[in-house]
Amino acid sequence: MSVSVLSPSRLLGGVSGILQVASLLILLLLLIKAAQLYLHRQWLLKALQQFPCPPSHWFFGHFQKFQQDQELQRIRKWVETFPSACPLWLWGGKVRVLLYDPDYMKVILGRSDPKSHGSYRFLAPWIGYGLLLLNGQTWFQHRRMLTPAFHYDILKPYVALMADSVRVMLDKWEKLLDQDSPLEVFQHVSLMTLDTIMKCAFSHQGSIQVDRPSDPTEEGSTTEGRGAGEGQEEEALGFPGHPPRGQREAPGLPRPCCSGCACFRNHLDQMPYTTMCIKEALRLYPPVPSIGRELSTPVTFPDGRSLPKGIMVMLSIYGLHHNPKVWPNPEVFDPSRFAPGSAQHSHAFLPFSGGSRNCIGKQFAMNELKVATALTLLRFELLPDPTRIPIPMARLVLKSKNGIHLRLRRLPNPCEDKDQL
């Protein structure tokens, strides 16, 4: 008796054979992939042998050392232990080389290596491919086209719009003073910044801060709130003739205007102490903690160490600004570091980076910071909430894990004529 070709036993045998062949192919592919990863890791170990680093797990890398938002503390420790640069193993064959020496970073910023595509690609659906994400000739053309719009003289008329946005925020703060509780300021400052951009870039006539009420309980972060500090000059807020805090009524000195937009326009470049305080705050808490670059060609650093093509380097702005070999006592708030003529001044990239891809809007940002700082300190005394000290954590930008909570105290207003704005 013959057995049918389509009998169940033959079908099962055929399926079993196919599965066996498929399993062998998958196993073979896995072995090939494992061999590739092993060879790639060995190549990386050889390429990075000049750069010591803490012990890492063969698969998890240094990931376990950065749990519970301890990344910034680890970076500060590595900066003190490993000179100039240190590899950060992510997992398997993935590695980033952290650079926190100014001479090393200047070498990278002087090149035309593209930005890390992996670190920024998820932003493309939100912001599109503009100056932040573009590379090569297209970036250069866009940059050249936009640069005239950020000329110093072009930005001067925007100061009035900046002052208007800050005043709306400060008026909201006055209404919240009766609540006798610390104010979480991140959302307020974010809306004020958005308001300024909408007015300056898009001629928006309304106020985002009024149209969209902020939620005082929403937590976030910017740089940690600080006062202008103890001024050793008679222009603590930068206004001509403005005395330091506590000496507002010093005899022989003119009374400062509460807002003085004209004063801002004419004297933004004459606010030395305020500028020093802003830069020192940005050094301690850089909004962008690191910038990624992928080496398109090999690079050799001033001390002779080198990296091959294809290695991803991270310019650790946070690490540079907390490097004790560059900044003595880096955790201390000391605005005198940025005094004119200071030798350390050239080592600060702040949030604006450097080289050909430095921030095109740095003058706009500094103007807004000066206006917001001066107007705020003329109306309020800012005190930190000792029960909720901000806990910085590194993401794409520097954030506070628990928000930024401040206690406000209204200061006497020496000038009630707000029409001067």
Binding site residue list for heme? 359
Q: Which two tokens stand for residue 21?
A: 């062949």
Query: Is residue 163 a contact partner of residue 259, using CB atoms and an 8 Å limit?
Result: yes
What does each C-alpha distance from 373 to 240, 363, 364 come to in angstroms?
Answer: 16, 15, 14
What element of type H or E holds 228? none
CA distance 363 to 157: 13
Q: Nearest-CA neighbor of 227 among 364, 400, 384, 336?
A: 384
Per-position b or e across 214-247, b if 16+ CB within 10 A of its CB: bebeebbbbbbbbbbbebeeebbbbbeebbbbee
Q: Nearest-CA neighbor of 195 among 205, 185, 186?
A: 205
Amino acid symbol at 350: L
The conformation of residue 255, written as its DSSP 8-state character, comes to P
What element of type H or E holds 292? strand 290-294
Query: Binding-site residues, please?
Result: 359
CA distance between the termini of the chain: 106
Residue 409 makes CB contacts below 8 A (sequence gap 6+) with 380, 381, 383
Q: Nearest-CA neighbor of 228 among 241, 242, 218, 215?
A: 242
**Beta strand pairing status for 312-316 and 398-400?**
unpaired
